[in-house]
């Protein structure tokens, strides 16, 4: 029952693209809500110091921070978009999208794009000057991908569209059939060499970025079940990429790795999570919907370790950083766990509101954003 409710919480009907929210009772304040795991005193086994704090405004959409070298781009629900210097938190520029944001941020450091709730792609030049905006045929919850002088958009109707980065001219669009329900959260889209890799339903699909032609398809999960909710296996969130190896999560179904050069599935394993993955050459890390943190071996998908120390704490996708795996939780805490066995190494505080996105590393600075709009820079010593 809980697994079904977890699925329903994130869904939206294609027909309405923003219909009624279906929140299960365990996510609210009712008596059946599981209690978050109690935390022991902070071990502080690795040293991390607060470096700076900035403000962007409340974040109520699936934010993806965009890192380019030593800068990071962030955005808020009310349409504010900013690029910050990661080492100091200094604001390099700030602009407005002219309306509430539903997805972002995508940036290559020269062009920065977001998507508004009125289904417009809005793109800014390198200094934050508005460059162009284009209307989409459907809502989008995945940050645009800016690569190769183009802006790519994955929409909730499972269409992929390419725009010229300088002019906004629509270059091509491809739409694939899928299940009648989609997720109101970030999907998968990245560039691997000269291939655009997107998540369409439960598959990773390699596209020609020049014309949208399909080069290969690799299934992570196959829709099963007796109703639309149980059949939903969209790929979600961040992926773990090492060379041409891409590891991704299918919503509440499986995790798996694909060789993006050949378009072949290397392995898949059952997993019950709704957030993305991160990892290194040896391990792939993920957080499950019940708060377990899991490490899978990258070569064969076998579990290396699992910990329930953060159970029911509403965790973000992880970040592999040095000897640590970094995750944020629903109370604004940032946890550093050992990447060898998941034991606690340190715990950092923010403003008490939930961490809004997977933590990122920009230069030598760990950056996190809260739902309350706080942007925090931490420096591991």
How many angstroms from the chain centroid is the CA of residue 235?
Answer: 10
3-state secondary structure of 245: strand
Give 108-134 pLDDT, tens digit per residue.
999 999 999 999 999 999 999 999 999
- Residue 231 is predicted with a pLDDT of 78
- Residue 14 is predicted with a pLDDT of 38
Question: Is the sign of the CA dihedral 42, 46, 47, 52 positive or negative?
Answer: negative
- Residue 33 is predicted with a pLDDT of 80
Counting Cβ atoms within 10 Å, is residue 279 exposed (0-12), middle (13-18) or buried (19+)? buried
- Output phi, psi for 316, to 5 deg: -80, 175
- The gap between the terminal CA atoms of the chain, to the nearest Å, is 44
Sheet holding 254-259, edge to edge: 235-242, 245-250, 254-259, 264-270
Tokens 């380019």, located at residue: 68
Q: By mean pLDDT, which of 16-20, 39-43, 71-75, 137-141 is the weakest? A: 16-20
H helix runs in 98-179, sequence order: none
With a pLDDT cut of 70, the percent of the chain lying above it is 91
Give 58-100 pLDDT, tens digit per residue.
999 999 999 999 999 999 999 999 999 999 999 999 999 999 9
- Residue 381 is predicted with a pLDDT of 80
- In which band, very low, low, confident or very high, does the pLDDT at 346 lie, cut at 50, 70 and 90? very high
- In which band, very low, low, confident or very high, does the pLDDT at 177 lie, cut at 50, 70 and 90? confident
Contact at 8 Å (CB) between 173 and 224? no
- Domains recognised in the chain with CATH numbers: 2-41+62-315 (2.130.10.10)
- Residue 253 is predicted with a pLDDT of 95
Tokens 């965790």, located at residue: 315
- Residue 178 is predicted with a pLDDT of 63
3-state secondary structure of 26: helix
Average pLDDT, the chain: 91
Calculate the CA dihedral of residues 64, 68, 70, 71 and round it to 10 degrees: -50
- In which band, very low, low, confident or very high, does the pLDDT at 226 lie, cut at 50, 70 and 90? confident
Q: Is 201 left (phi over 0), alpha (psi -120 to 50) or beta?
A: left
- Residue 229 is predicted with a pLDDT of 79
DSSP of 62-94, one letter per residue?
Answer: -B--EEETTEEEEE-TTSEEEEEETTT--EEEE
- Residue 7 is predicted with a pLDDT of 43
């Amino acid at each position: 029952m809980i697994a079904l409710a977890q699925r329903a919480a994130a869904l939206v009907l294609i027909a309405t693209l923003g219909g009624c929210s279906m929140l299960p009772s365990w996510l609210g304040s009712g008596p059946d809500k599981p209690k978050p795991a109690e935390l022991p005193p902070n071990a502080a086994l690795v040293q991390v110091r607060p470096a700076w704090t900035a403000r962007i405004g409340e974040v109520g959409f699936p934010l993806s921070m965009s890192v380019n070298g030593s800068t990071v781009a962030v955005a808020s629900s009310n349409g504010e978009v900013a690029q910050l210097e990661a080492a100091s938190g200094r604001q390099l520029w700030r602009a407005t999208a002219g309306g509430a944001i539903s997805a972002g941020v995508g940036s290559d450091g020269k062009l920065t794009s977001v998507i508004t709730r009125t289904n417009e792609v809005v793109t800014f030049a390198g200094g934050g000057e508005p460059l162009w905006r284009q209307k989409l045929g459907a809502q989008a919850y995945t940050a645009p991908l800016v690569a190769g002088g183009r802006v790519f958009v994955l929409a909730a109707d499972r269409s992929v569209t390419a725009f010229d980065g300088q002019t906004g001219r629509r270059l091509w669009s491809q739409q694939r059939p899928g299940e009648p329900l989609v997720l109101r959260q970030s999907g998968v889209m990245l560039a691997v060499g000269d291939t655009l890799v997107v998540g369409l339903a439960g598959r990773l699909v390699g596209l020609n970025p020049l014309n949208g032609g399909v080069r290969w398809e690799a299934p992570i999960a196959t829709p099963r079940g007796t109703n639309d909710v149980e059949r939903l296996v969209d790929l979600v969130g961040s992926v773990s990429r090492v060379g041409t190896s891409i590891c991704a999560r299918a919503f509440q179904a499986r995790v798996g790795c694909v060789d993006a050069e050949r378009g072949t599935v290397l392995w898949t394993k059952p997993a019950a999570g709704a957030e993305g993955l991160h990892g290194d050459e040896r391990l792939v890390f993920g957080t499950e919907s019940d708060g377990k943190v899991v490490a899978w071996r990258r070569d064969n998908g076998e579990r290396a370790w699992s910990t329930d120390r953060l159970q029911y704490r509403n965790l973000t996708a992880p970040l592999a950083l040095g000897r640590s795996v970094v995750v944020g939780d629903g109370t604004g805490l940032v946890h550093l766990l050992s990447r060898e066995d998941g034991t606690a190494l340190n715990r950092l505080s923010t403003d008490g509101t939930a961490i809004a996105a997977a933590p990122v590393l920009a230069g030598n600075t760990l950056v996190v954003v809260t739902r309350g709009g706080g942007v925090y820079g931490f420096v591991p010593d």
